[in-house]
Amino acid sequence: MATPVEFPEQNWLLKKPDSMSDDECVSLPCFVDNQQVVSCWAFTPEEMAVLNANGGKLYMGVYGQSTPPIWLSPRNPFVRPDEQTEVIGTSLATMP
């Protein structure tokens, strides 16, 4: 499973619930403002191989009975698109 990682823009650490073990959940470094919570996740080489093999599909699970609106992106939301030259080894010019 992807692992949450620290990033320069983070300004908060959402602590895991005390009722959950470290195997079930970890604390989440994130950026929080009045509109959104942004976190950064890293995949192992093995997970990247699975993503590449399955056509880039990522499955998301949320504990509970519903999920809030979310967005996922391989692009850094804190860097303007014209300043980004490469994302995960793929030229932005070739990304949809």
- Tens digits of residue pLDDT in 38-77: 999 999 999 999 999 999 999 999 889 998 899 999 888 9
Mean pLDDT estimate for the chain? 86
CA distance 11 to 30: 6
Contact 41, 3 (CB under 8 A): yes
Count of domains forming the chain: 1
Count the alpha carbons within 13 Å of 35 in the hemisphere toward its beta carbon. 1
For position 16, what pLDDT does the model report? 93
Q: How far apart are the first and last CA of the chain?
A: 25
- Percent of the chain at pLDDT exceeding 90: 66
Tens of pLDDT, residue by residue over 5-43, are 999 999 999 999 999 999 999 999 999 999 999 999 999
> What pLDDT does residue 40 have?
96
Residue 42 and residue 38: Cα distance in Å, rounded? 14
Question: Phi then psi for 16, rounded to 5 degrees?
Answer: -70, 150
Give the range of the structural domain holding residue 22, as residue numbers without chain letter: 3-94
